């Protein structure tokens, strides 16, 4: 459960930092740049994350094991999960941030645990007690309360909503597939992460960017004059990598539905970091503070199996 909460905290940091990158001049200079920004930034984000993952596994001497994991049947399903969670889910997430703002994008896309929990129930036979469903529903109401703020500007509601749906279904399906794959002892969470991020980056680089004719704009970003843009994206990718490592470990240890309920707390943490990092107090109100507390507390309770905790306490 600690890994799940840490995943939420670091993903909130990633959200704010990526939002800063998307607001910088290269991504808002022309209409073409505005259109390509979500796709190019996601490619760079996942590519950098794949590099961070490779460094992490390399330092631990696991690169050979990553290749072995990829060659297994479960490893190939991780590739499928990567396509669903990366090009579909991550693009939707960035669209949500781009058109609805960092804090709103974070809370809007947080509905994926509900979808994932339903899928986990049917495909992984992960049972959710009635009280966990209640806490999850209350968490989602808290997410809705966080997303409602008349002071915040939403540039394109429909594209933002489309991004939210892509993100919710993409990440929900991805978590269920990964939970099944990581039951294979040869596919550990850190191996799955490197496969996932590498697959996503390759899919973007070889399919999405060529189709959208976005390689010219992408190459232009490396030709200078972009200031701190690329280092900021690399920093966002670093926090994303840490978040994914914690999230995947939580999935492997406590299951998809519980891990997603904990990960959703990033919706509340993003409000906290919006105030601390961006100095934006417009997101603060009695309602947002109350809803942030609800999301964090009920998110944790939605992941808690009280019967299991009581049984373990009795054993001890």
DSSP conformation letters of 124-192: T-----HHHHHHHHHHHHHHHHHH--TTS--S-HHHHHHHHHHHHHHHHHHHHHHHHHTTSTTS-HHHH
Give SS3 for 227.
Answer: coil
How many residues does this entry show for the chain?
Answer: 316
Structure confidence at residue 137 (pLDDT): 83
pLDDT band, very low/low/confident/very high, at 242 (cuts 50, 70, 90): very high
In terms of C-beta density within 10 A (0-12 exposed, 13-18 middle, 19 or more buried), how is residue 186 classed?
middle
Residue 297 has pLDDT above 80, yes or no: yes
Instruction: Give the burial class of 23: count Cβ atoms within 10 A of its Cβ; 0-12 exposed, 13-18 middle, 19 or more buried.
Output: middle
User: Which tokens sit at 224?
Assistant: 């200078």
Question: Measured between alpha carbons, how far apart are the two ends of the chain, in Å?
Answer: 19
Q: What is the mean pLDDT of residues 30-38?
A: 84
How confident is the model over 297-313, as a mean pLDDT?
A: 70
**Is the pLDDT at 266 greater than 80, yes or no?**
yes
pLDDT at 151: 52
What pLDDT does 27 receive? 87
Question: Is pLDDT larger for residue 96 or for residue 219?
Answer: 219
- Give dist(CA 210, CA 228) in Å, integer: 25
- What is the percent of the chain with per-residue pLDDT over 90, rounded to a whole number? 28
**pLDDT per residue as tens digits for the range 67-100:** 999 999 999 999 999 899 878 887 787 777 777 7
Phi and psi (nearest 5°) for 184? Answer: -75, 120
In the prediction, which pLDDT does 312 show?
59
Look over the chain and give the mean of its residue pLDDT values, rounded to a whole number: 84
Tokens matching residue 208: 């999405």
Mean predicted confidence (pLDDT) in 301-311: 67
Q: What is the pTM of this model?
A: 0.82
Q: Look at residue 313 and tell me whether its pLDDT is greater than 70.
A: no
* C-beta of residue 87 within 8 angstroms of C-beta of residue 208: yes
Cβ atoms within 10 Å, residue 96? 29
The shares of helix, strand and coil residues in the chain, as percent rounded to the nearest 5, are 85, 0, 15
The pLDDT-based confidence of 268 (bands split at 50, 70, 90) is confident
Would you state the pLDDT for residue 107?
60
Tens of pLDDT, residue by residue over 112-155, are 777 777 888 777 777 778 888 888 888 877 776 776 555 556 67
More reliable by pLDDT, 242 or 88:
242
pLDDT at 199: 93
Tell me what pLDDT residue 293 has.
86
- The C-alpha atoms of residue 161 and residue 170 are separated, in whole angstroms, by 14
Candidate from 8-17, 53-62, 118-127, 129-138 with smallest mean pLDDT: 118-127
Lowest mean pLDDT among 48-52, 59-63, 156-160, 207-211: 156-160
Report whether 190 contacts 245 (CB < 8 A).
yes
Determine the average pLDDT of the residues in 282-309: 78
pLDDT at 85: 84
Query: Contact at 8 Å (CB) between 97 and 267?
Result: no
**Could you report the per-residue pLDDT of 270-295, keeping only the tens digit for each?**
888 888 888 888 777 888 888 888 88
Instruction: Provide mean pLDDT across the span 5-15.
Output: 91
Residue 309 CB-density burial (10 A; 0-12 exposed, 13-18 middle, 19+ buried): exposed
Q: According to the model, what pLDDT value does residue 102 have?
A: 59
Give the Cα separation of 275 and 289 in Å (integer).
12
- Number of other CB atoms surrounding residue 121 within 10 Å: 16
d(CA 90, CA 45): 10
CA angle 256/271/25 to nearest 5° reads 105
Band the pLDDT of 44: cuts 50, 70, 90: very high
Q: What 3-state DSSP class applies to 182?
A: coil
Residues with Cβ within 8 Å of residue 150, at least 6 apart in sequence: none
Pair of tokens at residue 204:
């973007």
Residue 316: band (very low, low, confident or very high) from pLDDT cuts 50, 70, 90 = low
């Amino acid at each position: 459960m600690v890994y799940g909460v840490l995943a939420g905290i670091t993903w909130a940091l990633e959200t704010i930092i990526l939002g800063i990158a998307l607001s910088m001049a290269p991504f808002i200079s022309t209409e073409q740049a505005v259109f390509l920004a979500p796709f190019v930034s996601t490619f760079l984000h996942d590519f950098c994350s794949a590099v961070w993952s490779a460094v992490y596994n390399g330092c631990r001497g696991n690169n050979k094991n990553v290749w072995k994991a990829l060659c297994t049947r479960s490893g190939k399903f991780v590739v499928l999960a990567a396509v669903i969670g990366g090009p579909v889910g991550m693009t939707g997430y960035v669209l949500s941030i781009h058109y609805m703002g960092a804090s709103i994008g974070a809370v809007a896309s947080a509905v994926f645990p509900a979808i994932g929990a339903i899928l986990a129930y049917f495909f992984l036979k992960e049972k959710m007690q009635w009280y966990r469903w209640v806490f999850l529903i209350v968490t989602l109401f808290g997410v809705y309360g966080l997303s409602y703020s008349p002071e915040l500007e939403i540039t394109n509601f429909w594209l933002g909503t489309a991004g939210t749906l892509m993100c919710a279904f993409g990440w929900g399906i991805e978590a269920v597939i990964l939970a099944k794959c990581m039951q294979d002892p040869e596919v550990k969470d850190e191996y799955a992460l490197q496969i996932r991020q590498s697959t996503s980056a390759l899919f973007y680089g070889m399919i999405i960017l060529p189709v959208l004719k976005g390689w010219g704009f992408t190459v232009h970003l490396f030709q200078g004059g972009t200031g701190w843009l690329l280092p900021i994206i690399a920093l966002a990718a670093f926090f994303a990598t840490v978040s994914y490592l914690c999230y995947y470990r939580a999935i492997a240890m406590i299951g998809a539905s519980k891990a997603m309920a904990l990960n959703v707390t990033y919706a509340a943490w993003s409000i906290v970091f919006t105030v601390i990092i961006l100095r934006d107090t417009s997101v603060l109100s009695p309602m947002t503070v109350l809803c942030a507390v609800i999301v964090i507390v009920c998110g944790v309770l939605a992941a808690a199996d009280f019967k299991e905790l009581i049984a373990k306490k009795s054993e001890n």
